[in-house]
Amino acid sequence: AGLTYEFLGDSTVQRQYAQVKIASRERTNAEFSQTLAAIPLQFQPGTVWAYSRATDVLGRLVEVVSGQGLGAFLQAEIFGPLGMVDTGFAVPPDQQHRIAEPFAHDPDGGVPMKVLEPRQVPAMEGGGGGLMSTAMDYTRFLQCLRNRGELNGVRLLGPHTVDFMTADHLGDIPADGTLLPPGHGFGLGFAVRTHLGLSPVPGSVGLYYWGGIAGTTFFVDPALDMYAMLMIQAPNQRDYYRPLFRDLVYAALV
């Protein structure tokens, strides 16, 4: 899309993102999109894959097409049908005793932990991040994906749509930065494994995965009919625990 994330570098464009506080959750999705539209692109669209604010723009696009706020749309079309009873952009007061709190400071280095405040109802319901959920809800979502779009008789997507989403769409388009490891491409919202080797972690060709900023990670391995998920509140340690988690899961399979 030609967009970027302000926290992934220090280019002129990324500094402009930071200057206007593009990460603010106090703007609506519409206001966010208008603010972003006034900033130059980081890349010529279609020339580079970069993890970016593009998915937040998609969230606004869903609002325009559906005529609903993104949170309401997700509740009506995904969370409700899948029985995801604990997922939303904020945790309601009667459920706040269940919040898994991070350490105030990184136990390894004393750095303050920056995670989203789950008690705050944000103006921006981001397409690219900000949902609060539980392990059970998240696994219901993953089981639906693993079933190629269906869960307990409720079908959200056709199987070929899921196949399309989880196929590599990059081809020879290069990736910016290090978020996409060797041997992987990117689909419609997921990194997709394209080679058995090259990557530093195990997994089947066709495996797809991604993660959340605080450390949540998941992967779905269609070849082994398996998914796995890890939920942690440790943004500073996520790059250590994610490959360890992958190694442990595959080492346990016989």
Ramachandran bin of 234, using left for φ above 0, alpha for ψ from -120 to 50, beta for the remaining angles: beta
At 33, phi and psi to the nearest 5?
A: -65, -40
Residue 103 pLDDT: 87
Residues 6+ positions from 165 with CB-CB distance below 8 Å: 157, 187, 188, 189, 190
Angle at 126 between CA 157 and CA 110, to 5 degrees: 120
- Angle, helices 29-37/54-66, rounded to nearest 10 degrees: 130
Q: Which residues pair with 186 in a beta bridge?
A: 191
Residue 153 pLDDT: 96
Residue 104 pLDDT: 86
Residue 248 pLDDT: 97
Q: Residues 232, 238: contact at Cβ < 8 Å?
A: yes
Q: Please report the domains of the chain, with CATH numbers, ordered by start residue.
A: 6-251 (3.40.710.10)
Which of 162, 94, 95, 103 is CA-nearest to residue 134?
95
Residue 23 pLDDT: 94
What is the value of pTM for the model shown?
0.93
Q: pLDDT digit of tens for each residue in the chain (254 aa)?
A: 999 999 999 999 999 999 999 999 999 999 999 999 999 999 999 999 999 999 999 999 999 999 999 999 999 999 999 999 999 999 999 999 999 988 888 888 888 888 899 999 999 999 999 999 999 999 999 999 999 999 999 999 999 999 999 999 999 999 998 889 999 999 999 999 999 999 999 999 999 999 998 889 999 999 999 999 999 988 888 889 999 999 999 999 99
Residue 123 pLDDT: 97
Q: Residues 212, 128: contact at Cβ < 8 Å?
A: no
Residue 183 pLDDT: 95
Q: Which residues pair with 221 in a beta bridge?
A: 226
